[in-house]
Amino acid sequence: MTYPPPSDGWSDPAWSAQQPDPTLQASGPPISAPPVGKDPYAPVDPYAGAPHIPAQAGPVDPYAAAAAYPQPGYPQPMGYAGYGGYQPPAPQNGLAIASMIVSIIGAIGLCGYGLGGYIGLIGAILGHVARRQIRERGEGGAGFATAGIVVGWISTVIAVLATIAMVVFFVWLANQESTTGYGTSY
């Protein structure tokens, strides 16, 4: 496609030699004007808006320059504080984890006639001590401590009930008369 001569008065001699005389009437559709403004299909120049960086005498830190001038691309997500705002999580309280583990072992010990549940009492006590330490020191693990307390006390209560049931059963069994059909009766 060819464009008409520019309107600012300057004309390219090569262009006028290739084009017919504009005073002649051409048949067909009129020639469209050249595009005005920015070409929407032109490639984007990533350095078009960057300010000039003066030359430095010493070694240059490449990360400092990258942080000073924003690069094109996706924006940072909302609420992201960057590297400077990252705070590591609080350390876990070891007694809280031990409380939960010991309480679970006590709950599993209930399978041995219910007497293994007394280990849960140790887990519950460890959980109470861990919660106090967590409040004082600001450590993490409050959920572990709470789980240790709840499971520990439940397994201890079940162990106590199982012990009472076994004592009642053996006392009842000892007081029964032997009514077996073996031997002679007097």
**Residue 7 domain-assigned?**
no
Q: Which domain holds residue 161?
A: 144-176
148 belongs to a structural domain:
yes
**Residue 159 is assigned to a structural domain of this protein:** yes
Q: Is residue 150 part of a domain?
A: yes
Residue 75 has what pLDDT? Answer: 61
Nearest to 144 by CA among 136, 158, 154, 134: 134
Residue 153 within any structural domain of the chain = yes
> Which residues share a beta bridge with 103?
none
Whether 150 and 128 map to the same domain: the answer is no
Q: What is the DSSP letter of 87?
A: -
Distances (CA, A) of 128 to 96, 123, 138: 9, 9, 15
| Tens digits of residue pLDDT in 39-70 | 777 777 766 666 665 555 566 666 665 555 55
**Average pLDDT of span 104-119:** 89
Question: Is residue 10 scored above 70 in pLDDT?
Answer: no
Name the residue among 162, 152, 38, 27 with its Cα closest to residue 100: 152
Structural domain total, the chain? 2
Is residue 164 one of the residues assigned to a domain? yes
**Residue 105: predicted pLDDT:** 94
* pTM of the full structure: 0.50
Which residue in 38, 7, 40 sits closest to 22, CA to CA? 7
> Is there a domain that residue 4 lies in?
no
Residues 126 and 148 in one domain: no
In a shared domain, residues 124 and 156: no
168, part of any domain: yes
DSSP code at position 140? B
Out of 71-75, 86-90, 133-137, 182-186, pick the least confident.
182-186
